[in-house]
Amino acid sequence: GSVRTISISKDAERILTGGADGAIRIWDLKSQNGTSTRLLDGGGAVADFAFHPSKREVAFAIRKSDARSAAFTGNPRIEIRNLDTMELLRSTYCHSDWLSTVAFSPDGKRLASGSLDKTVCVWEPLSLEKQYQFEAHSDPISALDFLDEDTLFSVDDGGYLCVWNCD
């Protein structure tokens, strides 16, 4: 299927790619030919993922299906998986519409998610307990990222940029 997202590990040794069909591939940049291994299949389309800055974990934004209907019936969720084995470590259902993006804070103590429901949520990554929910956007969230441990930026499909204090 088509690739929807890409992320490079902090050590620049691996690249993850995710597709609309739910397939996730890891690319080994240390090998001569950059070989890839298919890690996961199905279970929902991958909207985005983020490498944890210090642990060997990766967070996935999973949207239920790529076939969107007028009546949303999917279960958007965050999954945190072991980077080496892709074992599911933790997951939570979140947001009332598809997830579009996830990002870890630079210290790894926060995980943010953005959704087509126009909200931004901040989670504690070990428990996946919600710490904050921000609602100021009038369009779906298209991207987000942390500046530092406490400052989060989000942008929506209409180009509106918000700055959030997570302190």
One-character DSSP codes across 22-39 = S-EEEEETTSTT--EEEE
Q: Is the pLDDT of residue 138 over 60?
A: yes
What pLDDT sits at residue 67? 47
- pLDDT grade for 11, boundaries at 50, 70 and 90: confident
Kindly report each contact of residues 85-91 with a partner whose C-beta sits within 8 Å and lies 24 or more positions away, as own/partner. Answer: 86/24, 86/39, 86/40, 89/57, 90/125, 90/126, 90/127, 90/128, 91/128
| More confident position, 44 or 146 | 146
pLDDT for the residue numbered 155: 97
Which is more confident, 56 or 102? Answer: 102
Q: Tell me the residue type at 86.
A: M
First to last CA, the chain: 40
**162 and 134 in contact (C-beta within 8 Å)?**
yes
The confidence score (pLDDT) of residue 2 equals 77
CA atoms in the 13 A half-sphere facing the CB of 85: 4
pLDDT at 39: 63
Q: What is the pTM of this model?
A: 0.84
**Of the ranges 26-30, 35-39, 50-54, 60-64, which is most confident?**
50-54
pLDDT attached to residue 108 = 95
